[in-house]
């Protein structure tokens, strides 16, 4: 938690006075329980200088994503910290994230949750993205602070990835080691706790074993802005659509940097859920490749859709809302 100095109250800082901003995409493993969703949403409104600029829930996936934006205040380490890295001295987003995370842990039980999207915890993932003049190093400093906060307040294992990880380990590598992509229910879904008591790899922060199967574990990472784009394929055979997905993902020789999963999405549909780095691949390219491969197999593909807004839209929306409260 951030230190509190009773004799030195922190002054309110205006969004209009800053050029460095941070976005965090917080993924919660619940979208069907209205009480839990409401609790997390209430917590997100605890500071007017932090804005949920976008949110998206999916009933089949039983998953909810909140995209938050706020400012950060940074001072250079000047060599006093490890490798002289930047140190985030304050961001209102840190306290709001912790409030949302505590609300999620208080209202969601992973052991009774199921859905068509993989997950390892109630608070499944936090991905941080620098906005404005903020740097990857700024975002990594804040992400590591939040990871330590989560481990402290909830006693859950936290795995770092990308720029938050000392060696830049990818989120895919972390998840493969944890068995994240292996469904344990009905062949194409996930139910209850999926992690063993003794974890196959040591977390970067927090206990080396699962303290609570009701909470699970969490991943925290830092990357450039990522866009979320889903393509519905009218086919109920997930294995067939998974083969199409291999033609899209960068790891399999498809489009560079694209990460994609084939996920059950109703009785007659399987979605290809993609994460895109817009500087390296576009939704148009993904849509075209999927349609070409699926067409060769006689499968119909619907027009894909974004589940989030762009980086520029996120910052514009934040400034409009936050500055109105200044």
Which of 72-87 are b and which e, b meaning 16 or more Cβ less than 10 Å from the residue's Cβ? bebeeeeeeeeeeebb
H/E stretch holding 189 reads none
For the beta sheet containing 123-132, the strands, ordered from the edge strand earlier in sequence to the opposite edge, are 51-58, 63-71, 20-28, 123-132, 218-222, 158-162
What is the distance between the alpha carbons of residues 273 and 270, in angstroms, rounded to a whole number?
9
Contacts of 195 (CB under 8 A, 6+ apart): 120, 178, 179, 210, 213, 216, 217
Residue pair 125/27 in contact (Cβ under 8 Å)? The answer is: yes
Contacts of 244 (CB under 8 A, 6+ apart): 233, 262, 272, 290, 293, 294, 297, 299
DSSP 136-164: HHHHHHHHHHHHHHHHHHH---EEEEETT
Q: Give the helix, strand, coil percentages of the chain, each rounded to 5.
A: 30, 25, 40
Residues assigned a catalytic role: 117
SS3 readout for 224-274: CCCEEEEEEECCCCHHHHHHHHHCCCHHHCCCCCCEEEEEECCCCCEEEEE
Residue pair 283/306 in contact (Cβ under 8 Å)? The answer is: yes
What is the distance between the alpha carbons of residues 19 and 318, in angstroms, rounded to a whole number?
13
And the tokens for 303? 């027009």
């Amino acid at each position: 938690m951030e230190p509190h100095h009773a004799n030195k109250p922190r002054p309110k800082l205006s969004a209009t006075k800053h050029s460095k901003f941070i976005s965090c995409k917080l993924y919660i493993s619940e979208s069907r329980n209205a009480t839990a969703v409401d609790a997390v949403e209430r917590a997100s409104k605890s500071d007017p200088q932090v804005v949920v600029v976008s949110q998206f829930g999916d009933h089949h996936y039983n998953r909810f994503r909140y995209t938050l934006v706020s400012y950060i205040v940074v001072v250079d380490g000047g060599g006093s910290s490890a490798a002289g890295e930047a140190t985030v001295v304050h961001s209102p987003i840190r306290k709001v994230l912790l409030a949302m995370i505590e609300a999620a842990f208080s209202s969601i039980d992973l052991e009774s949750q199921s859905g068509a999207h993989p997950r390892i915890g109630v608070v499944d993932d936090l991905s941080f993205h620098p906005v404005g003049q903020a740097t990857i190093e700024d975002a990594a400093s804040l992400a590591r602070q939040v990871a330590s906060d989560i481990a402290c307040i909830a006693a859950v294992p936290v795995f770092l990835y990308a720029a938050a990880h000392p060696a830049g380990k990818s989120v895919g590598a972390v998840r493969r080691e944890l068995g994240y992509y292996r469904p344990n229910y009905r062949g194409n879904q996930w139910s209850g706790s999926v992690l063993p008591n003794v974890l196959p790899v040591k977390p970067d922060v927090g206990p080396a074993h699962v303290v609570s199967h009701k909470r699970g574990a969490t991943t925290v990472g830092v990357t450039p802005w990522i866009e979320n784009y889903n393509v519905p394929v009218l086919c109920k055979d997930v294995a067939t659509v998974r083969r199409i997905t291999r033609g899209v993902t960068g790891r399999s020789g498809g489009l560079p940097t694209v990460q994609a999963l084939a996920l059950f999405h109703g009785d007659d549909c399987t979605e290809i859920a993609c994460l895109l780095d817009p500087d390296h691949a576009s939704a148009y390219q993904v849509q075209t490749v999927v349609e070409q491969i699926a067409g060769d197999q006689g499968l119909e593909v619907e027009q894909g859709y974004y589940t989030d807004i762009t980086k520029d839209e996120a910052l514009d929306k934040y400034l409009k809302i936050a500055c109105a409260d200044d």
